[in-house]
Amino acid sequence: MTDHPTAAPADDAVGRVTDLLAGVDRLGVAFSGGVDSSVLLALAVRILGPGRVVAILGVSPSLAADEREGAHTVARHIGVPVVEISTHEGEVAAYQANGPDRCFHCKHELFTRIDDEVVAAHGLDAVAYGENADDARRPDRPGSRAATDHRVLRPLADAGLDKAAVRHLAHAFGLPSADKPAAPCLASRIPHFTPVTREKLAQIEAAESALRRLGLGDLRVRHHGDVARVELPADDLVRAVTTLREDIHAAVVAAGFRFAALDLATGIQSGAFTLPLVAATHA
């Protein structure tokens, strides 16, 4: 049997994470409903039992309403209660300034609120979040520094579970999020050094929600002032410029933009705004 994470059976992954959670009696999982945190939550339940695990969902204007609802659906499937906490990263000047370290300030706010409001109230021994082994190697993940500062565990990454392995486990566990596209926070759609505001986040959420109602699944609406730059997978481009062209334009304008632009060059790119700045810094 190969020990490569993508080929490891579910019980092997459980064994690795069990070793990493040795000594933990009650665990809080920073939970978004995405595939990474869903797999971490499911693994924790298998190891500790549902009565000793709490899913913690940070709620703010940067979390889309459908993402919030989806997180509750996944947690119910796993059998774990969700504790919602309000986070106020939008009031932090460094977050509003939207530099490449924006995610640090967001995660710092989340983990601070968890420390202050959840750990003692639920008798938690530790808090963990769903960083995987691929994310741990990326230079555009300043949120991981906040996790280190708050001594938050990262069992998936430490167990060597990469994105492919996490997807494999999500299917093995029958999770509703197994095929869910990555859904970073709404603030990631705003170019760095352009201020993050509640109004921009609401525009982005409204546009993306409307486009999903048109049957477009994986997508991003990048906020460029009056222009919404829509990123879609290559398979959706043809219908976007033919049968859906007028509907896409109407949806974007209804969300408060003046113009709709379709990105033909890159499609959907994780870290589209952050990676070029990080690469330049490390060049």
* Cβ atoms 220, 183 nearer than 8 A: no
Residue 204 confidence (pLDDT) above 70: yes
Rounded to whole angstroms, the Cα distance separating 220 from 237 reads: 13
> Does residue 106 carry a catalytic annotation?
no
Whether 14 shows a pLDDT value over 50: the answer reads yes
pLDDT given for residue 267 in this prediction: 67
Q: How many CB atoms lie within 10 A of CB 103?
A: 22
pLDDT tens, position by position, 214-237: 999 899 999 999 999 999 999 999
Span(s) in the chain for CATH 3.40.50.620: 5-172
Q: How far is CA 271 from the centre of its chain?
A: 12
Catalytic residue among 74, 78, 185, 232: 185
Any bridge partners for residue 282, and if so which?
none
Is the pLDDT at 282 greater than 90? The verdict is no
Can you spell out the DSSP letters for 209-249?
Answer: HHHHHTT--S-EEEEETTEEEEE--HHHHHHHHTTTHHHHH
- Would you state the pLDDT for residue 259? 97
Domain with CATH 3.30.70.2210 in the chain: 186-275
**What digits encode the pLDDT tens for the residues 137-156?**
887 788 899 999 999 999 99
Is 138:271 a contact under the CB 8 Å cutoff? yes
CATH topology of domain 5-172: Rossmann fold (3.40.50)
Q: Given this model, what pLDDT does residue 6 score? A: 41
Averaged pLDDT of the chain: 91
d(C-alpha 151, C-alpha 174), whole Å? 30
Between CA 114 and CA 110 the distance in angstroms is: 6
Provide the CA 275 distance to its chain's centre, in angstroms. Answer: 17
pLDDT by residue (tens digit) across 67-102?
999 999 999 999 999 999 999 999 999 999 999 999
Write down the pTM of the prediction: 0.89
Kindly write down the DSSP assignment for every residue of 7-45, as one continuous string.
Answer: G--HHHHHHHHHHHTTT-SSEEEE--SSHHHHHHHHHHH
Percentage of residues of the chain with pLDDT beyond 70: 91
Please say if the pLDDT value at position 278 is more than 50.
no
High-pLDDT (> 90) share of the chain, %: 82
Give, in degrees to the nearest 5, the angle at Cα 109 between 132 and 55.
55
Give 21-35 pLDDT, tens digit per residue: 999 999 999 999 999
DSSP state at residue 34:
S
Residue 217 confidence (pLDDT): 86
Instruction: Supply the pLDDT for residue 138.
Output: 83
Cα distance between residue 279 and residue 242, in whole Å: 36
Q: Rounded to whole angstroms, how far apart are CA atoms 133 and 181?
A: 18
Domain 186-275 of CATH type 3.30.300.100: no
What number of other Cβ atoms are within 10 A of residue 174's Cβ? 9
